[in-house]
Amino acid sequence: MARIRSISKGTQSIRPHDSLVDCYFDTVADQNGDTLLHLTTFGSDLRKSKPKSSQSIQIDIAMAKQLVEVIYDAFPALGAAEAPALPGTAVADPTTSEASPIYDELAGRLLGK
């Protein structure tokens, strides 16, 4: 249960998870009135007890912009035609990607368009 302060490529050994969980989102204002995106996951169907929050994270607009870039880098088929460039991050090549309504909506919200 924490607010993310940085997003970096990891070096740990990972594998796909075996179970699926549900994730709920909401927004909350911090002490300065800035919006935070709050994401909470709940235990898998295999959990023996009743469903409860397993993990929650919060991200501000700077982290949201970086996360959008990470997502488009991981899934270039989404077609981020005009990904907002941040220093030190990769963006999809607009000459090889198609426009994406999902990207357009997220970018509009993040960039105030």
Domains held by the chain: number: 2
pLDDT of residue 53: 77
28 in helix, strand or coil?
Answer: strand
Q: Regarding beta strands 23-29 and 2-3, do their DSSP bridges make them parallel or antiparallel, or are they unpaired?
A: unpaired
Q: Say whether both 55 and 71 belong to one domain.
A: no
* 40 and 70 within one domain: no
Do the beta carbons of residue 22 and residue 42 sit within 8 Å?
yes
Average pLDDT, consecutive stretches of 10 residues, N- to C-terminus, the chain (113 residues)? 92 91 93 96 71 86 94 86 51 46 63 61
Residue 16 lies in a domain: no
Q: State the pLDDT at residue 18.
A: 86
Q: Is residue 9 included in any domain, yes or no?
A: no
Q: Is residue 84 part of a domain?
A: yes
Q: What is the pLDDT of residue 109?
A: 66
Q: Does 65 share its domain with 110?
A: yes
Q: Is residue 8 in some structural domain?
A: no
Whether residues 107 and 69 share a domain: the answer is yes
Domain range enclosing 91 = 61-113
